Structure 1
Amino acid sequence: MEIIRAKHMGFCFGVSGAIETCHNVLKKEENKNRRIFILGMLVHNRYVVDKLKDEGFLIVEEEEILNQKDDLNENDIVIIRAHGTLKKIYNILNEKRVKVYDATCKFVTHIRETLIEMEKQGYEIIFIGDKNHPEVKGIISFGENIRVYNELEEVEKAEIDSNKKYCVLTQTTLNKKKLEKIKSFLENHYSNVKISDKVCGATQVRQEAVEELAKEVDILLVIGGKNSSNTKKLYDISKTINEKTYLIESEKELEKNWFDGCEKIGITAGASTPEEIVINIENKIRGIN
């Protein structure tokens, strides 16, 4: 039995940077008797969030702030999660005069800035991604009237005026192959559409690595949060190639019968999945076998 890791997996620099921001803030603010809040899930992994809670961080949810049900005071600290947040949240936090540390991934920030700039130049924005994902909600909240599509079929049915100019922006974790199909359609049918490909490089190499690994192994485990967009996309890519693909959050979810007759076991992990979880799962597999 052989365990093979994907060439690229686990923490991306955006996640690492967000966690580092939290630890730097904790160190900087120690002994100042100020409460430190994280806005929602810093990253989409419960293990990481629970660990931060154990270190003394408090959690405040977007809905609490929007509905004026939060417990924030002027001297408190709020750390913006890696996915970013709504423009309205930034405005409310500013009004409350809390100290804000922004841990938004720089890829997300760049897309947000591009959206604002392109609207200033008169472009209408078409956004490709999951409209219910916090990253997408946050980015498009900085625009005036953004159309969001998730599938090629939706784009094909979209009304695009030949007398207007459009800019296409994307969710950072978008499936690269999906984007290529959408780009091909738009480029072949419209000359007034500018496509800004902002899919995160770390996302792309992880998707390519899992696609390669899924062809080589008998079973592939995708490790990460069930509500993580990038983890779900790794699972979807692998599942289309290797039927024996499973998405798990911890070693507790492993089932012995999955490994019957398997010689090569592939492993990949989402961008928010810490190394210790991967090691725990690998050790459990060795025990099973």
Structure 2
Amino acid sequence: MIIKRAEKMGFCFGVSGAVDLCEEVIKKNNISKKKMYILGMLVHNKVVIKDMEDKGFEVLKEEDLLSHKIHLGENDLVIIRAHGTTKEIYKILDKSGCEIFDATCVFVKRIRNALIETENKGNKIIFVGDKNHPEVKGILSFGNNFEVIASFEEFLNFKVDSNVNYTLLTQTTFNKEVFFKIKDYILENYNNIEIFSKICGATYERQRAVEKLAKECEAIIIVGDKKSSNSKKLYEISKEINEKSYLIEEVDQLNVDWLKNISSVGITAGASTPEKIIIEIEKFIRGNFDDKHGL
């Protein structure tokens, strides 16, 4: 069996930066001995979170801060996750006196800043993304006048007021092909909607890579947390092209029956998936199927 990796897969620079920041904080905290917290899931991968907990971090729930179940002070340090957080949580952290390390992805920060700046100009925001995703909740908490849509079809049903100026913003992990459809429709039909796209380049590269892989291999394994937006989108894109596409979080979820009677399998991974999980899955496949043709 031929095992082929996607050309782009696994950790993006934002996730790598968040994990590296945690490692730096651990070294620094060997001296100060503060209690270490991560606000929510650092990244959407349970293996990464478990690793950080084993190294001394405690996952802090936003609702516990908001309900005052947890009271932070100067003897605590908090790392803000890669997805960012809400305006209210930032205020609580600032007032607490705790030491703050912000691992928010640069793309998330840019979209948040664009929202604030364009609203200050008087524009209404059209935000394309999943309203329940923590990244989107965090960004929108800085706004006042916005509508959230999740698909091209929802955009078609959105009533654009010709007397209002709009700015279109997107979730960083939004499907770029769907965004292009929305963008093209706007350019053809409206002149009062400015478009600000900061979909993560790594996200787009991974989406394009899985499209290519799904056409080249008989089966596709997508490795990623099932709560991960970008992993789910990789699965959706692959599944449209190749029916034998499977999303798994760890090697013990891999069903050997999926790979019977096929000669090639493609592997890709979400932006929060550690390399060690990918390697474990590759080893498992090689251990159960002949790899006479090599990689």
Shorter-chain TM band: over 0.9
Quote the residue 1:209 is aligned against: 209
Quote the residue 2:270 is aligned against: 270
Q: CA deviation at 1:26?
A: 1.4
Quote the residue 2:281 is aligned against: 281
Quote the residue 1:108 is aligned against: 108
* Identity %, equivalent residues: 54
Residues 173, 203 of structure 2: 8 Å contact kept: yes
Q: CA deviation at 1:33?
A: 2.2
Is the counterpart of residue 261 in structure 1 residue 283 in structure 2? no
Provide the C-alpha distance between the structure 2 equivalents of 1:282 and 1:236, rounded to a whole number of angstroms: 22
Instruction: State which drifts further: 68-77 or 180-189.
Output: 68-77
CA-to-partner distance for each residue in 1:73-117, whole Å, 9 max, x for gaps? 332101000000000000011111111110000000111011111
Which letter does structure 1 place at the counterpart of 2:273? T
Quote the residue 2:89 is aligned against: 89
Q: CA deviation at 1:171?
A: 0.3
* Number of matched pairs: 289
Q: Indicate the SS of the match to 2:167.
A: strand
Provide the C-alpha distance between the structure 2 equivalents of 1:74 and 1:104, rounded to a whole number of angstroms: 22
Which segments of structure 1 move beyond 4 Å, counting only runs of 4 or more? none
Quote the residue 1:123 is aligned against: 123
Residues 71, 96 of structure 2: 8 Å contact kept: no
Provide the C-alpha distance between the structure 2 equivalents of 1:256 and 1:75, rounded to a whole number of angstroms: 50
Provide the C-alpha distance between the structure 2 equivalents of 1:157 and 1:225, rounded to a whole number of angstroms: 32
Instruction: State which drifts further: 210-219 or 73-82.
Output: 73-82
Quote the residue 1:42 is aligned against: 42
Quote the residue 1:161 is aligned against: 161
**Superposition RMSD on alpha carbons, in Å?**
0.9
Provide the C-alpha distance between the structure 2 equivalents of 1:71 and 1:284, rounded to a whole number of angstroms: 45
Is the counterpart of residue 225 in structure 1 residue 225 in structure 2? yes
Unaligned runs of 5+ in 1: none
Unaligned runs of 5+ in 2: 290-295
Provide the C-alpha distance between the structure 1 equivalents of 2:274 and 2:154, rounded to a whole number of angstroms: 35
TM-score for both structures, normalised by structure 1:
0.98
Q: CA deviation at 1:155?
A: 1.1
Residues 131, 137 of structure 2: 8 Å contact kept: yes
Quote the residue 1:13 is aligned against: 13
Quote the residue 1:69 is aligned against: 69
Q: Indicate the SS of the match to 1:78.
A: strand
Instruction: State which drifts further: 71-80 or 170-179.
Output: 71-80
TM-score for both structures, normalised by structure 2:
0.96
Provide the C-alpha distance between the structure 1 equivalents of 2:281 and 2:33, rounded to a whole number of angstroms: 39
Provide the C-alpha distance between the structure 2 equivalents of 1:35 and 1:255, rounded to a whole number of angstroms: 41
Q: CA deviation at 1:287?
A: 1.3
